């Protein structure tokens, strides 16, 4: 009789239980965040807005403005048009200097409105007023207004921050008239971190026949110019001013958009406390779901890794786009085609360039 040796069976790998635990963990995280569910299934319940009609953007160094106007189908002007740059301002002091230094040769008036409260009703300093010395180079062009904000009482619920934001944008119409804008002048409507390129503004100065209203497509960046996202930024717009028709807005106003017209650098702050201030004070403050979102160490890690500060899924209208955008933003080592003032002052603005992700407290 042959006796066979009995071998010890190999250990069972608990693959399926591990997957089940992972699935249940993810499911719990989703179910505790209705916003995540909404974004995850957006392709099923929402439709994308109508596509823009893109205006090709022609530009190269050492090409005359007359030739560039004609390439766009526009007519060169003999006298430059006045250009008004109008922004609602919160606490983006570094980006404001970068913006105005870049655009100062081409802008007639810088119109800036700030409030003594955030959109969520939190009292705030007048950051522009307390940093005016940084903007002495443009002193003769600045028209500064203060909007009396509405302070939230302790224990009371937030008023709709979009309502308060909208009230400030309505007030900008009055401030533009105070600045002396006239019919036929050009006005740029954008947030402080949506910076048109100088050659875009030169079109407004020197070309006739440009659309009365067009949006500006901007390359979007997060935290600094080290983290380019895509070209999805469209809210900035330019208008040929009409006292009868023009209203200051930050929403879609036309189907026309000028391609590759500037930079949108979102949450591009020097200091961690500036990140926290914006997270608590801007119109999307409801995205701060947990207290740890405001922790400095966590914010610093997310900046350097390119993670979303609010652990949110991207806003996309197809599952293919959604999947392609999930995860950290890949960093870029390129500092080409950025604002000239930034490159000229790279040491001062190191935090905005590749390799400069560490922030001051």
Give the C-alpha separation, 314 to 307, whole Å: 11
pLDDT at 228: 98
Under a CB-based contact definition with an 8 Å cutoff, are residues 255 and 215 in contact? no
pLDDT at 19: 53
In the predicted model, is pLDDT for residue 31 greater than 60? Answer: no
Give the C-alpha separation, 255 to 217, whole Å: 12
pLDDT at 156: 67
Least confident of 110-114, 121-125, 189-193, 298-302: 121-125
Contacts of 301 (CB under 8 A, 6+ apart): 307
In the predicted model, is pLDDT for residue 218 greater than 90? Answer: yes
Q: Could you give phi then psi for residue 331, rounded to 5 degrees?
A: -75, 155
pTM across the whole model = 0.88
In this structure, is the dihedral angle defined by the CA atoms of residues 27, 33, 39 and 45, taken in order, positive or negative?
positive
pLDDT at 15: 44
Under a CB-based contact definition with an 8 Å cutoff, are residues 338 and 349 in contact? no
Rounded average pLDDT over 295-301: 98
């Amino acid at each position: 009789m042959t006796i066979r040796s009995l071998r010890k069976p190999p250990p069972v790998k608990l693959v399926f239980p591990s997957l089940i635990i992972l699935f249940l963990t993810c499911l719990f995280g989703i179910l505790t965040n209705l916003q995540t569910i909404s974004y995850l299934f957006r392709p099923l319940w929402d439709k994308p807005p109508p596509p823009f009609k893109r205006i090709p953007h022609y530009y190269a160094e050492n090409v005359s403005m007359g030739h560039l106007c004609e390439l766009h189908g526009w007519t060169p002007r003999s006298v430059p048009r006045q250009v008004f740059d109008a922004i609602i301002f919160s606490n983006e002091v570094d980006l404001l200097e970068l913006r105005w230094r870049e655009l100062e040769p081409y802008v007639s008036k810088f119109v800036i409105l700030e409030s003594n409260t955030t959109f969520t009703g939190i009292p705030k300093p007048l950051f522009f007023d307390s940093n005016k010395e940084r903007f002495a180079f443009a002193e003769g062009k600045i028209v500064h207004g203060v909007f009396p904000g509405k302070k939230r009482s302790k224990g009371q619920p937030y008023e709709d921050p979009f309502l308060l934001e909208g009230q400030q944008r309505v007030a900008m119409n009055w401030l533009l008239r105070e600045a002396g804008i006239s019919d036929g002048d050009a006005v740029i409507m954008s947030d402080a971190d949506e910076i048109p390129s100088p050659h875009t503004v030169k079109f407004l100065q020197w070309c006739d026949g440009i659309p009365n209203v067009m949006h500006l497509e901007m390359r979007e960046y997060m935290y600094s110019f080290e983290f380019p996202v895509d070209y999805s930024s469209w809210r900035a717009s330019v208008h040929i001013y009409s006292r009868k028709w023009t209203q200051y807005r930050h929403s879609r106003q036309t189907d026309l958009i000028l391609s590759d017209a500037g930079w949108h650098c979102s949450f591009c702050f020097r200091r961690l406390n500036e990140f926290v201030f914006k997270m608590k004070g801007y119109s999307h403050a409801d995205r701060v779901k947990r207290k740890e979102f405001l922790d400095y160490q966590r914010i610093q890690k997310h900046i350097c890794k390119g993670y979303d500060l609010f652990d949110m899924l991207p806003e996309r209208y197809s599952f293919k786009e959604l999947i392609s955008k999930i995860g950290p933003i890949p960093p870029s080592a390129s500092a080409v085609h950025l604002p000239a003032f930034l490159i000229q002052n790279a040491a001062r603005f190191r935090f905005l360039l590749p390799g400069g992700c560490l922030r001051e407290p």
